[in-house]
Structure 1
Amino acid sequence: MRLGLIGLGRIGAVHAATLTGLEVVDSLVVADALPGAARAFRDRNPGLAVTAAADVAQVLASGVDGLVVAAATDAHPELLLAAVDAGVPVFCEKPVAREAADAVAVMQRVRASGVPVQIGYNRRFDAAVAAAREVVAGGALGRLHTVRSTTMDPAPPPDAYIATSGGIFRDCSVHDFDTVRFVTGREVVEVYATGSANGDPVFAEHGDVDTSAAVLTLDDGALVLVSNTRCNARGYDVRLELHGTADSVAVGLEDRLPLRSLEPGTAFPAGPPHQFFVDRFADAYRAELLAFTEVVAGTRPSPCTVADAVEAGWVAEACTLSLREHRPVRVAEVRSGPAMA
C-alpha cells in the first residue's frame, strides 16, 4: 500500500515513523508547507521508502491509495476535500476545521462523495479506553452518574501553535469530549466552562486560557467533569474515571501516572511519569493508523467519522461560548446559531 502524508510537524513526524513501520505500507509520499521540509525528512531517513513531493496535488498524482493529513488546522478542510474529490480515502487529524460551519460543510461534502474519511481521535484506540467502553456498554457499572476526564500537558505548545489552535477547548479538551461520547455512548446537552491564563501571556493575547474546567451534562443526566491545563510540570497526564451505581473504573491509573502520592507507605506510581503524548499513546497511534490501512483496503468502515468529530466540535464551541459569556450553554444553542445558518 502506498500512502501520502501532508504535514511533517510534531504529529506528522510521529505518523510518518509509524506508517513506515507498518508491514502493509510499502512506501510513503510526503509533503509539507515549509519549503524543503519533505526533502529534509526523506534525507534524514535514507532507510525508509519515502518520496518527497511539493504539495497535495503532487502527492495525489503519485497514485497513493490513501492520504494522511497532519498539517496545520486551517489547512485541514482544503487538503481533506482535495483527496475526497480525487476519490482517495483520508485520515485527517482533528479538528476537521477551525470553525463549526466549515466542519459541517466538509461533513456534507464527504457524505455526498461516499469516500471514507477517518478523523484522528487516537484515544479511541487506547486499550484501556476501549475496555472502558465495553464495561459501560455491558452494564457492569449500573447507571453511570459521574465521569471525570483529564488532559494535562507538561508544557505549553509553541506560541505559533497557540495562535492558530482555536483555543484550549477546540484543541485540547476536544479529545476528552470525544472520549466521553465514545465511552458512554451518550451526547452532551449542556456545558458550563471556565478557565484562567496565569502563565505565559501569549494565551491571553489570543483570547485563550492555559487552564480550564467544564461541567458537561449528558442526555441521560450523568455529569462529566473535564479538566485541562498546559502547565502540568510533573508530566503528561491523561485519565478517565467512570462512576456508576454498581461499580467504578478508571483509565490511566498505572505506574507512569504523573502524580505523586503522599499516603504513608504507598509506592504507587512506581515508574517514571509520562512526559509527552507520544510515549503515553504510542500503541494507540499505531493501532489508529493500522485501522486506517484497513479503511483504505475497504475491510472496515471508518472508526471515527467526520460526523463524530463534528459532534465533539459542537461541545467545544459551547464551552468556548460559556467561557466567554460566563454562563451555562445548551449545545443546541450553538447548533442553531450562525454556524448552521
Structure 2
Amino acid sequence: MPDLHLGLVGVGRIGAMHAANIVATPGVGTLTLADADPARVRAVAAALPGDGAGVAVADDVDALVRSGIDGLVVAAGTAAHPELIRAGVEAGIPVLCEKPVAPDVALSLPVLEHVAARGGVVRIGHQRRHDPGYREAKRAFDAGELGWLHAVRAVTCDATPPAVEFIATSGGLFRDCSVHDFDVLRWITGREVVQVYARGSNNGDPEIGRVGDVDSALAVCTLDDGTLAVVTASRYNGAGHDVRLELQGSRGTLVVGMDEAMAARSAEPGVAFPAGPPHATFAERFAGAYRAEVAAFVDLVNGVDGDLCHPRDAVAASLVADAAQESLVTGVPVAVPPLPAPLAAPVA
C-alpha cells in the first residue's frame, strides 16, 4: 500500500504536536500544512524532523484540499471546525478533527446531519481513548473483572491555568476540560449520563471569575442505570498535571493514572510512592495517546476502523458538558437531553 499524503490545518500548540506525530507515523509519505498565519506555518514546517515524511505548505485550505491529500487533520480554532469538517467531507476524504465538533451543540447538529447525508468519514480527537491506562480500564470492565460499578471518580486538573483570554472563549471549565471525562464515562461504562449536578469555586485569579468561569469545579453525574460518577476539575493543581479515573466495582477497583508520575504524594510514613516527577502538562501526560490516535487515523484512511471517537459520541459528551455548565449557573440538577433520534450516539 503506498504511503499516504495527509493534510493538517492549524499549527498552534496542538497542531504542531500533531504535525510532529504525523511525520513520524509509518505509512505517511507526505504532510501538507496550512494555517492562517503564513509565518507560523513555515516555522513549524521548518522545525519538523528531516528523517520523517516529506513536508509541504499550502497557501490556504482550498489549496490544501486540492493538493490530493488522502486524509485531513483539523487542529484549527473551534469556530473553524464545522467549515473544515464539511470541506473534508465534500472532498470525499476522511477527517480527524480536534474536539469539539463545533463551539456548541446547536452548531454541531447541522454538522452531524451533513456528515450523515454525505456518508462522510469523520472522527473527533478524544485522545484518552488511545491511552493504555484507559484502554485497560475499558477492557477490564468489559470483561467483567470489576463486577458492577458502585462509584466512578474522574479527575482532570491542570498545574496552572491557561491565559484568561483563552478561558474567556473556552465555553467554561466543563466544556474545556471535563468533556474528556464525560466522553470516557460513556465509552468505558457503555451508559448514558442522564443528570448532572455541578458546583464550582474561584480561589485563584479573580479575572477567571470576571470572564464568567470557575477555576475549580465538581459534577455529580447520574448514569442511566443509577450509577454515580463524580467528575472534578481544576486549573490550579500545583502538584502537577493530574488526570485519573477510579472505577470501584463489586469485584475490584481499578485506577487509571496511578503511576510514578501521579501528581500526588502519600501521607503514610515510609511510603515513597510515587517517586517520579509529575507530568507538567496534558501534552506530556498523553504523548503516547496522541501518537496512537494519529496511527489509528492512518488505519482509518486505509479502511481499517478502530476506536477513534465518532462525532455523534463527541456531541453526546458535549451535551453532558452543557448540562454541567447549566447546573453550575443555576445551582440545580440538570437533565441531559438525548441527541435527536436520527443522530443518536450509541455508547460503545
Equivalents in 2 of 1:78, 1:36: separation in Å? Answer: 23
Q: Normalising by structure 1, what TM-score? A: 0.95
Aligned counterparts, 1:146-157, within 5 A: 146-157=151-162
Equivalent position amino acid for 1:212 in 2 = A
Name 2:165's counterpart in structure 1.
160
Name 1:93's counterpart in structure 2.
98
Equivalents in 2 of 1:205, 1:65: separation in Å? Answer: 45
Identify if the C-alpha distance between structure 1 residues 8 and 224 changes in structure 2 by more than 3 Å, giving closer, same or farther.
same
Q: Normalising by structure 2, what TM-score? A: 0.93
Name 1:195's counterpart in structure 2.
200
* SS of the residue 1:283 aligns to: helix
Question: Offset of 1:14 from its aligned partner?
Answer: 0.8
Moved more, 153-162 or 306-315: 153-162
Identify if the C-alpha distance between structure 1 residues 104 and 174 changes in structure 2 by more than 3 Å, giving closer, same or farther.
same
Name 1:184's counterpart in structure 2.
189
* SS of the residue 2:21 aligns to: helix
Equivalents in 1 of 2:220, 2:321: separation in Å? Answer: 12
CA contact (8 A) 1:255 1:270 kept: yes
**Paired residues, number:** 336
Equivalents in 1 of 2:247, 2:128: separation in Å? Answer: 16
**2:243 maps to 1:238:** yes
Name which of 276, 283, 289 aligns with 1:284: 289
* SS of the residue 1:246 aligns to: coil
Equivalents in 2 of 1:54, 1:196: separation in Å? Answer: 45
Name which of 190, 204, 207 aligns with 2:209: 204
CA contact (8 A) 2:296 2:306 kept: no
Aligned counterparts, 1:19-168, within 5 A: 19-45=22-48, 47=50, 49-168=54-173
Runs of 4+ in 1 over 4 A off after TM superposition: 333-336
Instruction: Map Cα deviations across residues 267-323 of structure 1 (whole Å, 9 max, x no partner).
Output: 100111111112111111111110001111112256310001011010001001100
Equivalents in 1 of 2:6, 2:239: separation in Å? Answer: 37
- Structure 2 gaps of 5+ residues are 342-348
Identify if the C-alpha distance between structure 1 residues 45 and 133 changes in structure 2 by more than 3 Å, giving closer, same or farther.
closer
* SS of the residue 1:67 aligns to: strand
Equivalent position amino acid for 1:153 in 2 = D
Question: Offset of 1:333 from its aligned partner?
Answer: 8.3
Equivalent position amino acid for 1:125 in 2 = H
Equivalent position amino acid for 1:108 in 2 = E
Equivalents in 2 of 1:5, 1:334: separation in Å? Answer: 29
Identify if the C-alpha distance between structure 1 residues 225 and 109 changes in structure 2 by more than 3 Å, giving closer, same or farther.
same
Name which of 251, 255, 267 aligns with 2:272: 267
CA contact (8 A) 1:6 1:69 kept: yes
Residue identity (%): 51
- Structure 1 gaps of 5+ residues are 337-341
Equivalents in 2 of 1:199, 1:100: separation in Å? Answer: 29
Name 2:344's counterpart in structure 1.
none
Equivalents in 1 of 2:165, 2:151: separation in Å? Answer: 36
Quote the RMSD (CA, aligned, Å).
Answer: 1.6
Equivalents in 1 of 2:198, 2:257: separation in Å? Answer: 24
